[in-house]
């Protein structure tokens, strides 16, 4: 089975747990809201009656593209070019971006993100709008 998703949300890097002065751990509201938006966007695209990929099933991410809106200072000739303008600034591709996305998809697309066994074609680059492209094979 192949699942193709186009999530119209700006990718947000996962932040580590914060601590209050009293020592209580919490997750920043920005991350909680981001994960909820991803869940809602993915549920809309999945077929009716879809059940999350079972726990002991290997999952192959065949395509994962984080697409960011061009910075305001990007020259027009670069935007109009056919060449891909890769994003080589923060956030970190493999740790921070994937962590938040994969955690958000747990319970919606798959039961456990630890079942992702391979990732091919992982990129981050610029375009006219923010979105995430995800293709999963199981």
Q: What is the pTM of this model?
A: 0.89
> Which domains occur in the chain, in start order?
2-47+57-137 (3.30.1330.70)
Q: pLDDT tens for residues 87-109? A: 988 887 777 889 889 999 999 99
Cα distance between residue 78 and residue 20, in whole Å: 44
Q: pLDDT tens for residues 6-65? A: 999 999 988 777 888 898 988 889 999 999 999 999 999 999 889 999 989 999 999 999
Determine the Cα angle at 79 with ends 76 and 84, to 5°: 150
Tokens of 125: 């680059």
């Amino acid at each position: 089975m192949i699942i193709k998703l186009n999530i119209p949300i700006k990718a947000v890097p996962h932040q580590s747990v914060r601590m209050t002065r009293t020592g209580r751990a919490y997750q920043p509201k920005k991350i909680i809201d981001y994960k909820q938006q991803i869940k809602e966007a993915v549920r809309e695209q999945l077929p009716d009656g879809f059940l999350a990929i079972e726990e002991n099933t290997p999952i192959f991410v065949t395509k994962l593209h984080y697409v960011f809106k061009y910075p305001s200072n990007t020259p027009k000739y670069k935007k109009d070019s056919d060449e891909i303008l890769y994003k080589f600034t923060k956030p970190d591709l493999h740790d921070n971006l994937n962590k938040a996305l994969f955690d958000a998809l747990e319970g919606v697309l798959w039961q456990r993100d630890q079942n992702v066994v391979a990732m091919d074609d992982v990129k981050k680059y610029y375009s006219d709008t923010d979105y995430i492209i995800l293709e999963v094979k199981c």
